[in-house]
Amino acid sequence: LADELSVPKGSDKGFLDKCHTAHQSHPYYEKPRQGGLTIFTVKHYAQPVTYNTVDFLDKNRNKIDDYMNNVLSQCTNPVVAKLFAKPEAANTGRSSLASHSVAVSVNFSQSLSSLMQNISKTQSHFVRCIKPNDFR
């Protein structure tokens, strides 16, 4: 997804084609039997979930506004400030603006990866639900 978002002429169809190519042999990935459809299915443990790729890139292209990022990085709550802290300047040849405007999906992915690393360092026998159940 991040690769297709970074291409200037990236498209939903391009993303779907790359998914089909990269995951066609994976047992949990299912390509639609009828050609030309804009969907793919991931077989989760509970039940299969079908994703429609129409406007998929636009929905994931939402970048965090620089103004909001600056405001939240100066928050007095240390957790919020750390989440929105400016990344360390790396010598990547990219402008600081380009490296700072991170897609929401990339930020989420990095945060989830960090959480999974922390969980794997422990010897936990269960994982608590992160999202509370409001219906209980």
Alpha carbons within 13 angstroms on the beta-carbon side of residue 62 total 8
Give Cβ neighbours of residue 3 (< 8 Å, ≥ 6 apart): 18
Residue 91 has pLDDT above 50, yes or no: no
Helix, strand, or coil here: 40?
strand
Supply the mean pLDDT for the chain. 75
Residue 63 confidence (pLDDT): 66
- On the question of pLDDT at 108 being above 80, the answer is no
Q: If pLDDT is split at 50, 70 and 90, which confidence band does 89 have?
A: very low
Least confident range of 25-29, 53-57, 107-111: 107-111
